[in-house]
Amino acid sequence: MNAWLFGTLGLTPADWLTLFGHFMVLSLLAVGGAITTAPDMHRYIVGQRGWLDDAQFTASVALAQAAPGPNVLFVAVIGFNVGGLMGVLATLLGTLLPSTVLALIVARLGQAMRQHRGAIAFTAGLAPLTMGLLLSTGWILLDPVRNRPAAWLLVALTLWVMLRTKANPLWLIAVGAVAGAAGWV
């Protein structure tokens, strides 16, 4: 019961607070959604703290992304793998609280200033930033299989299909799942 609530890493109250604080900061940088901050989550949780390894981190993201529901679920899965239910609270509240408050404030201001030239330019500038963040997330998630040619083939196929067709991305996830289950990647 204790491991389910607090995890198996024996985190201290200071660890919980820094985990919560780190995810609060990432929440404010999550232009394009929480998934765009996955590279820094990886750096912090895997590289700096060593709470998870590459495979555990990637599996946490993949599991949550394959499940139905909002994309932000991967934050809860990472939190659970780091520290049980307390990890879920630290990561999920850290991610949702600042962005929710900021969204409420910006929504009110945005209504009043939506035709302002600065607001239009700011919105247009967020598109390339979001694309860069998503590409860096993909690069981090590719890390465990980066040395396998079949993985690169799947990446190229996915990119081509997403740019050239209107196919549902779930088909590409299914192809990746079959390739992984068969041991090709």
* 153's tokens: 């083939």
In this prediction, residue 75 carries a pLDDT of 94
Q: Which amino acid is at 15?
A: D
pTM over 0.75: no
Reported as a pLDDT band with limits 50, 70 and 90, residue 15 is: very high
DSSP 122-167: HHHHHHHHHHHHHHHHHHHHTGGGTT-HHHHHHHHHHHHHHHH---
**The residue to which tokens 């912090």 are assigned:** 44
Statement: residue 41 has pLDDT above 80:
yes
More confident residue, 108 or 20: 20
Q: What is the pLDDT of residues 86-110, one digit of tens each?
A: 999 999 999 999 988 988 998 888 7
The H-or-E segment that residue 117 falls in is: helix 117-141
* 115's tokens: 């035709």
In this prediction, residue 39 carries a pLDDT of 92
In this prediction, residue 122 carries a pLDDT of 82
Statement: residue 163 has pLDDT above 80:
yes
